[in-house]
């Protein structure tokens, strides 16, 4: 297996140009996601989905402490413990040699299980096509030795691509720099292998709480509790057997 590759999205330098959204659509031939005016600042895509694999969030906040305009490019997290991959019943979702998570469109039968399983609400089923789609971290480009289209197009290097270990070290330095410059609200999100999904392959530097960007504050891979769930179901199954035995205990 090659080195684990990842994204570090440093939202403190994002300018909201959406070059990543466009580059992703172009390279991956992602269909149009509807022309909707949402009146949510400059955001008209709304969130990640089957037809939006990079999504730039815009948060305009006017508060007593001051105004802020946050921009952040969201993407599939390529989780270490990926719920979508765990629950996929066909094996269409698989882990690549770059330790990324990719759907094989020729295998997916559109069961839709990955959709509510993802703790970040990333993957979705395409209506007319019936299959699940999401970011592949440009698997084809990676195999050809190129960086993903979004990282390539990002003019400010807000999206950085590289070996995950290297990115984590770089993110730590960047955080120290920002804290040193008095940006106390800067924080890393998804960088820790100790979190509920074992760390994200695509992690972020944020300037506010994750939920402000539409990210879950403490995501957990649902399959962490699966052994316990099977145990409860097993007990319920045994109780059924007992109930049926009891029903037949009387002669009538």
Partner 1 sequence: MAREEAVVPKAEFRSYYGRPVIKAPIWHEPHMPLYLFLGGVSGASSMLGAGARLSGRHRLALSAEVTAALSAAAGAGLLVAELGRPERFLNMLRVFKLTSPMSVGSWILAAHSGMTGLAAGSAVTGLLPRLGTAAFAGGGVTGPLMATYTAVLVADTAVPAWHEGHRELPFLFAGSALASAGAAVMLATPPGEAGPARRAALIGATLETAAGHLMEHRLGMLAEPYREGPAGRTMRAARLLTVTGGALAALAEAAAVPSPRPRRPARARFSPLRPAPRAARPPSVPAVLRGMPAVLRELPAVLRGMPAQAVLGGVSALALAAGAVCTRFAVLRAGRASAEDPKYTVVPQRERVSARESPDPTPGPVPR
Residues engaged in binding ligand SF4 (CB under 6 A)? 76-79, 82-84, 101, 118, 120, 122-123, 134
The residue (of 78 and 141) whose beta carbon lies closer to partner 1 is 78
Residue 232 is encoded by which pair of tokens? 């409860």
Say which entry of ligand SF4, partner 1, none residue 245 contacts (CB below 5 to 8 A, set by partner kind): partner 1
The residue (of 37 and 145) whose beta carbon lies closer to partner 1 is 37
Distance in Å from the first CA to the final CA of the chain:
66
Rounded-to-10 torsion of CA 150, 17, 213, 87: -20
Q: In angstroms, give the least distance from the CB of 139 to ligand SF4.
A: 13
Say which entry of ligand SF4, partner 1, none residue 82 contacts (CB below 5 to 8 A, set by partner kind): ligand SF4
Q: Which of 32, 63, 173, 194 binds partner 1 (CB under 8 A)?
A: 63
Query: Kind and range of the H or E element at 162?
Result: strand 159-163
51 is a contact residue toward partner 1 (CB under 8 A): no
- CB under 8 A: which stretch of 12-20, 27-35, 155-163, 225-233 binds partner 1? 225-233
Nearest of 2, 30, 48, 15 to residue 159 by alpha carbon: 15
The residue (of 16 and 190) whose beta carbon lies closer to ligand SF4 is 190
180 is a contact residue toward partner 1 (CB under 8 A): no
**Cβ(165)–Cβ(80) below 8 Å:** no
Q: What is the 3-state secondary structure (H, E, C) of 121-136?
A: CCCEECCCCCCEECCC
Q: Which of 124, 147, 191, 200 binds partner 1 (CB under 8 A)?
A: 124
Q: In this structure, how many other beta carbons lie within 10 angstroms of the beta carbon of residue 6?
A: 27
Residue 18 is encoded by which pair of tokens? 């959406």
**Cβ(82)–Cβ(221) below 8 Å:** yes
Q: In angstroms, give the least distance from the CB of 136 to ligand SF4.
A: 10
- CB under 8 A: which stretch of 22-30, 63-71, 136-144, 152-160 binds partner 1? 63-71
**Cβ(202)–Cβ(77) below 8 Å:** yes
Q: Which of 44, 187, 188, 198 binds partner 1 (CB under 8 A)?
A: 187
1 is a contact residue toward partner 1 (CB under 8 A): no
d(CA 199, CA 194): 7
The residue (of 38 and 143) whose beta carbon lies closer to partner 1 is 38
The residue (of 15 and 238) whose beta carbon lies closer to partner 1 is 238
CA 231 to chain centroid: 29
Between residue 76 and residue 115, which ones bind partner 1 under the rule CB under 8 A? 83, 86-92, 107-113, 115
**Cβ(50)–Cβ(65) below 8 Å:** no
The residue (of 32 and 64) whose beta carbon lies closer to partner 1 is 64
């Amino acid at each position: 297996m090659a080195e684990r590759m990842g994204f570090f999205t440093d939202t403190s330098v994002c300018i909201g140009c959406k070059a990543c959204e466009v580059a992703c659509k172009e390279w991956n031939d992602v269909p149009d996601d509807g022309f909707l005016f949402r009146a949510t600042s400059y955001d008209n895509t709304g969130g990640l989905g089957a037809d939006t694999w990079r999504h730039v969030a815009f948060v305009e906040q006017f508060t007593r402490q001051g105004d802020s305009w946050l921009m952040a490019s969201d993407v599939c997290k390529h989780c270490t413990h990926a719920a979508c991959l765990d629950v996929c019943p066909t094996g269409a979702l698989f882990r690549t040699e770059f330790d990324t998570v990719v759907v094989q469109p020729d295998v997916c039968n559109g069961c839709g299980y990955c959709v509510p399983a993802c703790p970040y609400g990333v993957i979705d089923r395409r209506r007319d096509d019936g299959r699940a789609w999401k970011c592949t971290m440009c698997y084809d480009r990676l195999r050809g030795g190129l960086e993903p289209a979004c990282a390539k197009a990002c003019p400010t290097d807000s999206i950085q691509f590289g070996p995950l270990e290297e990115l984590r070290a770089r993110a730590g330095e960047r955080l120290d720099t920002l804290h040193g410059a008095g940006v106390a609200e800067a924080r890393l999100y998804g960088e820790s292998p100790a979190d509920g999904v074992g760390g994200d392959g695509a992690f972020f530097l944020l300037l506010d709480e994750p939920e402000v960007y539409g990210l879950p504050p403490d995501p957990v891979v649902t399959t962490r509790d699966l052994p316990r769930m099977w145990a409860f179901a097993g007990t319920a199954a045994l109780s059924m057997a007992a109930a049926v035995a009891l029903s037949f205990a009387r002669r009538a």
